Amino acid sequence: MPFLPALVLSILGGLLTNLAFPYHSWWILAPLGLALLLSAIHRQRGGRAFLLGLSWGMAFFMPLLYFSFKAAGEWLPWIALAILQALFVAFFALGTSLVTTRLRRGGAVAAVLLWVAFEQLRGVIPFGGFPWGSIAFSQTEGPLLPLAALGGTVLVSGIVALFAVGIALLARLRPSGLVAVGTGIGIVIGGLLFPPSAEPEEGTLTVAVVQGDVPVRGAEALGQARQITQNYADIVEANAPWDADVMVWPESAADIDPRSNPDVAANVVRAQAAFDGPILLGTQRYVDGGRYNEYILWQEDGDTAAYAKQHPVPFGEYMPFRDFFRRLSPAVDRVSTDMFPGSEPAVMAVPTADRDVLLATPICFEIAYDGLVRESVTLGAEALIVPTNNASFGFTQESTQQLAISRFRAVEHARATIQVSTVGVSAVFLPDGEIVAQSGELYTEWHSVVELPLRSSQTIATSLGNAPQIIVWALAGLWLAVAIFRKDTA
């Protein structure tokens, strides 16, 4: 195919794949969009394949990550983040080109492995990675979701890539495309035959969920910290009594630390007294040279436990190489105080009348990181709480994209999951992914009381740990190495 039509095809493929994610969640477009990229790079040499992959990546990531522009108020961070993520697609396209032009067989399998390998690599490097936009997260409204419990993002992304390969082969009238599509359908049917259970194994936990909204919208909401905490206390008092074991507030519900500020503490104490039980809430703890983003347990005698976010967002919550990037844009100093990473896993013990219940508490973007969430479950977490602050992102799709990831994690680990946001979208998922409660429009107050089934068994995906990731990297690396040292057979 000439380069110009291939370029159009790759850009169209990236745009279609973006539509598989929220807002739209047209999940079937994910394999179609990826198939267009595979068709565009077919028989293209390395440099052209790289450019086509980069074009697909930019067409996909620019609209997907638009929320980063809304949060920063600057074009440069948005474009830079999109380019960085698109480079992984470009190297996937380059690798696929090498394999298909230098090896006579195995190109279809290699394409699947390479897609998953580079996607997993994107979740690890640089700066700890950014797995947002994993193609697996586009499938939460479709029949591939149950496969999350069998193999997590590696398996679900791999099946999407397998369908894409099959579609691309069928477009070239290759019978092997039927094999690829048929294999994918068989795996999906197998997953549907063994759905994850939503039944409680360790009893239930009744949770009050509060979304308190903010006085103003956008980044300016961060300057209203005292009023925000007061809003939560007012909501709790106005709706008392609450028949629940624990109450959860979102990230930054008390952006000024109640442990060091008496005025903010007074509102938290007022809420705790009205609720008459433990409250989990987000705050910031400032230390010399930086701060920690923490989720704390507040009881009648004050705070008794805290989890500090392990994976601060680079360029959003801390600024790497600040002096260098300041030369490119003064926007770096919008992050005036760098966030430090916590060192403990995202697990908190919450006391109830019968016993302490272990809850996983990944904060905001941490829900996108496979290993971080999996560690919490392997350490005994019986349900997931995802506190998040979406106030800076305006009416973008960031919150619903995050909601899809939370739903994926619920099924992957068979744990009831609550995403509780400052402004929405907040929701509650059963371990099989069913939605049992959800807030409506963004920037609204909302609250609900839900009964969560507590579970202790591990899914296959949880038990496998990072083994699928390592295997995919090893196989993809081996395939690439063989291709690099073979002469071109095209």
Q: What are phi and psi of 360, to 5 degrees?
A: -80, 135
End-to-end CA distance of the chain: 15
Burial of 105 (0-12, 13-18, 19+ CB in 10 A): exposed
Give the torsion sign (CA, 58, 56, 24, 144).
negative
Query: For residue 183, which of 161, 203, 202, 206 has the smallest C-alpha distance?
Result: 161
The C-alpha angle with vertex 168 and arms to 130 and 477, in degrees rounded to 5, equals 45
**Separation CA 201–CA 163 (nearest Å):** 36
For residues 56 and 83, is the Cβ–Cβ distance under 8 A?
Answer: no
The C-alpha angle with vertex 379 and arms to 375 and 382, in degrees rounded to 5, equals 100
Q: Which residues pair with 318 in a beta bridge?
A: 314
81: left (phi over 0), alpha (psi -120 to 50) or beta: alpha
Give me the active site residues, please.
Answer: 251, 309, 364
For residues 425 and 399, is the Cβ–Cβ distance under 8 A?
Answer: yes
Rg (Cα) of the chain, in Å, rounded? Answer: 23
The C-alpha angle with vertex 366 and arms to 364 and 368, in degrees rounded to 5, equals 105
Residue 453 parent element (H or E):
strand 446-453
**Separation CA 117–CA 23 (nearest Å):** 27
Q: What are phi and psi of 83, to 5 degrees?
A: -65, -45
Q: Which residue is it, tokens 């403990």?
A: 344
Helix segments in 19-45, DSSP class H: 29-41
**What amino acid occupies position 384?**
L
